[in-house]
Amino acid sequence: MGRRRGPLGRSVTTRMAWLAEGSSAMVVTPIASGSLVLLISAFIDPLFGLGPLLGVLLLCAASWLLLRFRDPPRKIPQDAGLLVAPIDGRVLHLRRERATHRRPGSDAASADIFEDLGGGSWIEGACTIPFDTEQRFTAVDDECEGDVWCLRLTVGALDLQVHRAPMAGTVVAGEHRRVADGWPERLRWVIESAGRRIEVVAHLTRPRFALTPLTSPGEPVRRGQRLAFMSTTPTLELRVPAAEWCPEITLMQGANQANGQEVHAGATVVFHPLWDAEE
């Protein structure tokens, strides 16, 4: 286990082969502490019988962390144009959405900026370039140009916490936004390939013990490549243009397309291309 220079200029710990990058210290610390407490209890002082109990609890915690922060290899689908799940979890909903507001640019007039919608400053209307900046979305039943599909996933306590790229392309945006006006802390990625863009937004919670970006804007990524590791990711949203991709048929089952289907990062196909991807 060594150190290397990671994305965004930060030094990160090179991961063990079976652990998510950035999680090694969180796993090794309770293992070492628990082992030390047990040795002290066995050969020096049992601390009124509390030493063995504490040591066992620390090792149990380490076992849980080993299970939670594991990072096994995945078999990535190779068919052209497919999008794969960005994280392990279950489907909360799949719905059609439309952008209503976007983050204001430097040239936006102050009279056009809304400050009372929550989450900071907004300006009415969708981005001219898909996912050019963060947007607010609302669910719709009708169809309109510029609509997107939103696949929202919930991540369980024992699901893998490694985020993977849904498609091959170039990372054109990587944003870390803090908690603001009721909006949670979140990490946003935008990946582009052949002029087509998708957006991945991870919602984070506290306490968060680790956030390790594994790529940065301007870098090429492969489908299924690791984007980031986060110790707590309760929900994640994948948005794709409805004119470019259609959902996997199994995701369309159930009321409001919220069937609780389990997906695996980098391995489960969630969207198919509407164009001839073999060209």
Whether 278 maps to a domain, the answer reads: no
Confidence band, pLDDT 50/70/90 cuts, at residue 2: very low
Whether 123 maps to a domain, the answer reads: yes
pTM of the predicted model over 0.85: no
Residues 186 and 54 in one domain: no
Answer with the one of 39, 68, 97 that is the final residue of a domain.
Answer: 68
Whether 175 maps to a domain, the answer reads: yes
Residues 39 and 165 in one domain: no
Whether 78 maps to a domain, the answer reads: no
Tell me the residue range of the domain where 25 lies: 3-68
Residues 173 and 45 in one domain: no
Give how far Cα 30 sits from Cα of 36, 53, 62, 197, 202, Å.
10, 14, 5, 41, 27
Residues 87 and 64 in one domain: no
Answer with the one of 44, 68, 92 that is the final residue of a domain.
Answer: 68
Residues 116 and 64 in one domain: no
Of the two residues 253 and 115, the one the predictor is more confident about is 115
- Sheet (strand 211-213) strand order: 162-164, 226-230, 211-213
Asked whether the beta carbons of 251 and 58 are under 8 A apart, the reply is no
Q: Which two tokens stand for residue 148?
A: 């997107």
Residues 99 and 211 in one domain: yes
Helix (H, G, I), strand (E, B) or coil at 200: strand
147 CB-near residues (< 8 Å, 6+ apart): 96, 97, 98, 140, 241, 242, 243
Whether 154 maps to a domain, the answer reads: yes
Across the range 95-106, mean pLDDT stands at 91
Q: Tell me, what's the pLDDT at 144?
A: 93
pLDDT tens-digit readout, 211-233: 778 899 999 999 999 998 887 77
Residues 154 and 54 in one domain: no
Closest CA to 25 of 34, 16, 37, 17: 16
pLDDT tens-digit readout, 23-73: 677 778 888 888 988 888 888 888 777 888 998 998 898 887 777 777 788
pLDDT tens-digit readout, 156-206: 887 888 899 999 999 999 988 888 777 888 889 999 999 999 999 998 876
- In the chain, the number of structural domains is 2
Residues 35 and 147 in one domain: no
Answer with the one of 68, 99, 121 that is the final residue of a domain.
Answer: 68
Residues 158 and 192 in one domain: yes
